[in-house]
Amino acid sequence: MPIRWTAILILALAGAWLAGCAAPEQLERRSGYAVDHSWVAPSHNSRVRHLVMHYTDIDEAESLAVLTGPHVSAHYVLPLPPRDHRGMPLVYQLVDENRRAWHAGASTWRGRTNINDTSIGIEIVNLGPDRPYAEVERLLEQNPEASVDIQWAPYPEAQIEALIALSRDIIERHGIHPTDVVAHSDISPTRKIDPGPRFPWRELYEAGIGVWPEDDAVASWQARFEAQPPALSVLQEALRGWGYPLKETGELDRETRAVLRAFQMRFRPSDYRGTPDAETAAILWALLERYRPAALEGLDQPLQTS
């Protein structure tokens, strides 16, 4: 065979061999081995299922010191006062979204525990109530039938604008369902009260983040429940159907009050004493009707009897 054709054949065989190997940019050297990235499976999705909202209860400097320390962390922190960079809201990212931050603690939502495993946590620098958490809990526990005067720090509009931009981006990239955008108090109602009753959940809903009941549905259910409210065990079942970790005891125990407070702080912040009433039940049933209709099955009876 002429030398010229031999050379061509050798080059062709070499090309065929190289075609079966990964291109240099598809190979990654690691400690003691190499990884070939030339095969990519389409069957996968994000591990993230929840977006959890918190307030820090301390100022920005303390918040960053605590959240970059050895015990707790969050993926993002929204500064106070709010600021921007070249006309865009500025946020701090402390943990990569692919990593598990330590922000939720002991937590449950819709039967799933250890929400740190499946969530992204956003900490909003906000001073919270005008007294320590333990005193807030004591006042609410000891005065369930009376109005308790607790002052809560506001969330500046610029801070909420940053939160909306950040949350929309996270939700879209990870495909988070609206019902899985939650408060820390939703997933840990007996331990936490953040982000508190001044957090603008309805404003976030109107911006496409989270959930909210339809007003007409609330009015319809409220008229029904004012005539005959649901039994406490049924209310507990409905709260559990919405996502809260709650047993059906038929008693207004500490856990039930804590869950009711968390629910009211989010959807009826004008009164969050943790007592059951027709309006709270109406909001809950309207939410179930809109977002989790299957959970309504069997909740019509028994109603409360005199």
**Residues with catalytic function:** 123
Helix axes 254-267, 232-242, angle to 10 degrees: 60
Rg of the chain's alpha carbons, rounded to an integer? 26
CB contact at 8 A, 16 and 136: no
CB contact at 8 A, 189 and 244: yes
Residue 7 to residue 19: CA distance in whole angstroms? 18
